[in-house]
Structures are given as structure tokens and as C-alpha cells.
Amino acid sequence: MTDNATVAVRTQDKQQDQGDQQAPSKLRSAGRQFGVVWSNTKARIGLCILGTFVLIALFAPLLAPYGGSQNGFARNADASWAHWMGTTAAGEDVLSQLIYGARVSVLVGAVAGLLSTLVAVAIGLSWGYIRGWIAEVIGFIVNLFLVIPGLPLMIVIAAYLQNGGIAVIIAVIVVTGWAWGARVLRSQTQSLRSRDFVTAAQFSGDGATRIVFREILPNMTSLIVGSFFGAATSAILAEAGLEFLGLGDSSIVSWGTILYWAQNSNALLTGQWILLFAPGLCIALLAMSLTLINFGVDAVSNPRLREGARRKRKEVTA
């Protein structure tokens, strides 16, 4: 290295590197992402609500005053100290039912949301990466699922598989709910596949599978997480809807079945509005919490949405 100027150039090059930052561990970077979500007020509210429901679901036997399907109390009783929300027409404690019902909603939301996201990722990514007639075929199938109205399809499938329990409900939701996520992930895949680093990976000799899952997938984590929360939200709503219509297993205790039985026993006419109101509110709150969390997840992928970076109204055009 005799050439002084070259040395100068190279040392200058090195100075730009700031200190000894080592690559952060996966755990730390995940923690930082969570910090971004948490710093968003809406997401924080959502996480609190979701956390409460998850805790309620986990510790239902400890929290509930009675068993979920324990009956034999006075029928159609109004709220009292023994039964804070009264009892149902079958003589069950409403509050206990509500607490146990959280288990089903949280479970269905998590499992159905996860499964339909997995399907969406698998199909969306390969659809976005592949070119040619196979992509057309996949596109046709996805579009088919997109144009079929969701609820009627669900009802038809659920009616076919009558009384299969939660597993069937989850299956029905997954079958009808993956298409939208696949579509979103596909378009992101298409935009990422034209990036230089994907071409570079091809030049490095990597195969298609590896490129899709090691190069492209990690770059859309926040989109996938967002699509999971979206899918979970619609899963919770769909589950409650199917139960309410009596298409699920009406013997289990869930928010949907509470509504179903309340409707059957004309709870509104007997003045027991709380039978409809309480589970309805719970469903709405749980769905809302997931939507709120998604605001924070958006901020992970788009720093401009982060709070504190609140913009003043100014025209920044030219």
C-alpha cells in the first residue's frame, strides 16, 4: 500500500463505519420491533385488550365463579350478587359462560389466523415468484376464492360438515379466508423479486425455493404479521357468526353460542339484553384489539407512520 492517496481513500472509507456495532442478535432485533409496535398508542391499547382476553382465556377456571356449562341455577334470573350478569334460559351463569367463551374465540382466532396465513404465504409467495402459465392457473384459483361470497360459502360448507366441532369451523374459515392475504403477499413478492439482491442471489447460484424463503420472505415479515392479525380478526368474526347461525357445535360454550341461545330464548323480549350485549361487546373488543395492533405493525414497515414522527401539515412538493 505505497500509494498514499489510495490509503487516504481507504481509511476514509473505513471511518464512515461507526464504531464496533456488531450484528444485533435475532432476539434483540425482535425486541426492537416490538418496541416500535408498543410505542404506538393505538397498538398499545390493542395489545392491552388482547392481553386481557388471552389471560382471561388461560385462567378461565380460576376466574369464572361457576363452570361454563354448569346449569341448574334459577332460569332467566336477572343480575344479582350470585350471578353478576344473571342466568340463561337453561339456567347457566352468564358471566362464567362469557369467561369460558373467550377460550374458543382466542383459540379460533389464533389457529385459524395462523393456518390461513400459512396458506396465504405459501401460495402468495410462489405465485409472485413463478412466471408463466402456472402463475395464471394459481391466479385463476385465487380469483375464484376472492369472488365467491365468503359467508354463504362458509354456511354451505359448515352445513355439510354438521356438528364437527371447533376443528371443522377452523377448517371452514381457513378454506374461505386465505385468498386475500395471498393476493397482497403476491404483489409484494413481485415487487421484491425485481430487486437487485434477488438477481444477485440468482448469480450466487441459489435456487428458487431458497431465494423465496431466505431472500424475499424475511423482507416482508411485517406484512405477514399484519396479514395474520387481519386473518385472525376475520376468523373470530366468522366463528361467532357461524355459531350464532347454529352451524357450529351448539353444545360448546362460546360467545357465538351464547348469542345463539339468547336469540333462541328471545332474551330481548324477557328484558335480558345483557345476554346479547355482553358477548357482542367482547367480540367487537377482541376484533378491535387486533386491528389496533395492526396500526403498530404498519409502523414497523413504514417508519413515517411512527408516532413522534408526527408531521406538521406542510407541502413537501416541488
Partner 1 sequence: MSGATSDGLEARGGTATRLPSDGTQAEVLLDVRDLSVVYESAGQTAVQAVDHVSFQLRKGEFVGLVGESGSGKSTLGYALTRLQKPPARTNGGNIVFGGADIRDLDDEALRQQRQGGFAMVLQSGMNALNPVRTIRNHFIDVFKAHGHVPRERWDARMRELIGKVKLPETMLARYPGELSGGMRQRVSIALALSLEPQLMVFDEPTTALDVLVQHAVMDTIIELQRSEGFTAILISHDLGIVLEATERVLVMHEGRIVEDGRSLEVLRDPQDEYTKMLLSHYADPRAEVVSLPGFPDRTQRSVSRQETTSSFATVGSRERSAARNPIVVDHLVKTYPAPRRGEQPVQAVRDVSFTLEPGQSLALVGQSGSGKSTIAKMLTGVEQPTSGTVRFGDTDVAKLGRRGLKDLRSEVQMVFQDPYAALNPLHTVEYILSRPIANYTGLRGRDARRRMLEILETVGLTPVEQFAQKLPHQLSGGQRQRVVIARALASDPQVIIADEPVSMLDVTLRAGVLALLEDLREQWGVSLLYITHDLLSARLITDDIMVLHDGAVVERGRTAEVLQHPQDDYTVALLDAVPNPRRTLLA
User: Residues interacting with partner 1, by CB under 8 A?
Assistant: 1-6, 8-10, 12-14, 16-18, 20-24, 32, 35, 39, 195-197, 199-206, 214-215, 218-219, 306, 308-318
Nearer to partner 1, 226 or 241 (CB): 226
CA 164 to chain centre: 24
Nearer to partner 1, 269 or 304 (CB): 304
Q: How far is the CB of 185 from partner 1 (least distance, A)?
A: 17
Distance (Å, whole) CA 34 – CA 230 = 18
Nearer to partner 1, 132 or 218 (CB): 218
Nearer to partner 1, 119 or 201 (CB): 201
Q: How far is the CB of 110 from partner 1 (least distance, A)?
A: 26
Q: How far is the CB of 112 from partner 1 (least distance, A)?
A: 29
Per the CB < 8 A criterion, the answer to whether 289 and 50 are in contact is: yes
Distance (Å, whole) CA 45 – CA 33 = 17
Nearer to partner 1, 52 or 202 (CB): 202
Distance (Å, whole) CA 95 – CA 85 = 6
Q: How far is the CB of 40 from partner 1 (least distance, A)?
A: 11
Dihedral angle sign, alpha carbons of residues 163, 255, 84, 273: negative
**Among the listed residues 78, 128, 105, the one whose alpha carbon sits nearest the alpha carbon of residue 282:** 105
Q: How far is the CB of 1 from partner 1 (least distance, A)?
A: 4
For 132, counting Cβ atoms within 10 Å of its Cβ (0-12 exposed, 13-18 middle, 19+ buried), the class is: exposed
Nearer to partner 1, 199 or 209 (CB): 199
Distance (Å, whole) CA 12 – CA 306 = 34
Detail the DSSP E strand segments found in 122-280: none
Nearer to partner 1, 18 or 251 (CB): 18
82 backbone dihedrals φ, ψ, rounded to 5°: -75, -40
Terminal CA-CA length for the chain = 47
Q: How far is the CB of 266 from partner 1 (least distance, A)?
A: 54
Distance (Å, whole) CA 246 – CA 258 = 11
Per the CB < 8 A criterion, the answer to whether 192 and 219 are in contact is: yes
Q: How far is the CB of 202 from partner 1 (least distance, A)?
A: 8
